[in-house]
Amino acid sequence: QVTLKESGPALVKPTQTLTVTCTFSGFSLSSPGVRVAWVRQPPGKALEWLARFDYDGSRFYSTSLKTRLTISKDTSKNQVVLTLTNTDPADTATYFCTRMIDSGWAFDVWGRGTMVTVS
């Protein structure tokens, strides 16, 4: 069974760096075709794609946030980590970790999300 679980601080001060961790099970990020992404959702607002990490180490970022985002993996711990620098209250959101389908651009398994407030 594929599961993903997000963790991170509930509160971050403006200008600080936000770090959220996705711990997954049921698949290997080393297997060909596997990709993990981060999506966020401000309270009462729409979803926003942030970044993607591929099995081969390739990384892709949202155009609007790429200067502030870094996505990485810890293979030994089955984790994908997202950092967002120079935070602002507008970064307050639930941050979701999601696995992507084998090909194409869709997100088939999601974690429950972790809510981070920047204040």
Q: Residues interacting with another protein, by CB under 8 A?
A: 39, 45-49, 52, 60, 62-63, 96, 101, 104-108, 110-113
For residue 63, how many C-alpha atoms fall within 13 Å in the half-sphere facing its CB?
0
The least CB distance from residue 28 to another protein, in Å, is 21
The least CB distance from residue 110 to another protein, in Å, is 4
The DSSP secondary-structure symbol of 9 reads -
> Taking a C-beta distance cutoff of 8 angstroms, is the pair 19, 79 a contact?
no
Beta carbon nearer to another protein, 18 or 97: 97
Beta carbon nearer to another protein, 63 or 76: 63
The least CB distance from residue 30 to another protein, in Å, is 20
The least CB distance from residue 5 to another protein, in Å, is 11
Beta carbon nearer to another protein, 39 or 116: 39
Buried b (16+ CB within 10 A) or exposed e, 9-36: eeebeeeeebbbbbbbeebebeeeebbb
